[in-house]
Amino acid sequence: MKSKVIAPSTSVTRYSIGNHTLQRADSERDLGANTESSLSVSKTCQAAKKKAMTMLDLLKRTLGKLDPAILPIIVSCYIRPYLEHSIQAWSPWLVRDQQLLEAAQRWATKMTRGMWTKPYQTRLSELGLFLLK
C-alpha cells in the first residue's frame, strides 16, 4: 500500500494502517491523469501530447498531405480526444502545459496542403478550428 501526500517533499510524516507503514508515493495515476505531490499535471500533458503526436505521425504516413476540408474531421476524431481526455480532472493551468498541448494541434494544421507557411491563427480560422484554451 502507498500513501499520496500533498505536501512539500521535505515532509517526513509517516502514515500507517495498524502495524503496516505505508510507502510514500510522489506520483499517482487516477482518472487517466498523473498527479504529483505538487499537484502539477505536466506529466499528464506530456503523455497526452505524445499520444496525439504518435497518432499524427501515423496519419501522416498513411494519408500524406490532407485536403483542407478533411483536416477538421481528422483533428476532431483522432487528435483532440487525446488532448482532451479527462480534461475535467487535470485541466492544465500552467502556460507551458497549455503550449505543450497546443503544439500538437499546431503540427496537425501544418499537415494540410498549402498551410505550411501560414501563421497558426490563420490556419485555425481557415480550417474552422479553435484554440484548445
- Which tens digit of pLDDT belongs to each residue from 94-115? 888 889 889 998 999 998 888 8
pTM above 0.75, yes or no: no
pLDDT at 83: 86
Of all residues in the chain, what percent carry a pLDDT higher than 90? 25
pLDDT category at 84 given cuts 50, 70, 90 is: confident
At residue 28 the predicted structure's pLDDT band, cuts being 50, 70 and 90, is confident
Question: What does the chain look like in DSSP terms, one character per residue?
Answer: -EEE--S-TT-----EETTEEPEEESEEEETTEEEETT---HHHHHHHHHHHHHHHHHHHHHH-SBPTTTHHHHIIIIIHHHHHTTHHHH---SHHHHHHHHHHHHHHHTTBTT-TTS-HHHHHHHHT-----
User: Would the pLDDT of 10 be above 70?
Assistant: no
Alpha carbon distance 30, 67 (integer Å)? 38
Mean of the pLDDT values across residues 42-71? 89
Average pLDDT, rounded, for the chain = 82
Instruction: Return d(Cα 90, Cα 48) in angstroms, integer.
Output: 11
50 has a pLDDT exceeding 80: yes
For the chain, the domains span 39-127
Q: Is the pLDDT of residue 124 over 70?
A: yes
Residue 3: the pLDDT is 59
What does the pLDDT read at residue 98? 86
For helices 42-63 and 95-109, what crossing angle results, to 10°? Answer: 0
In this prediction, residue 2 carries a pLDDT of 61
Give the other-Cβ count within 10 Å of 120's Cβ. Answer: 14
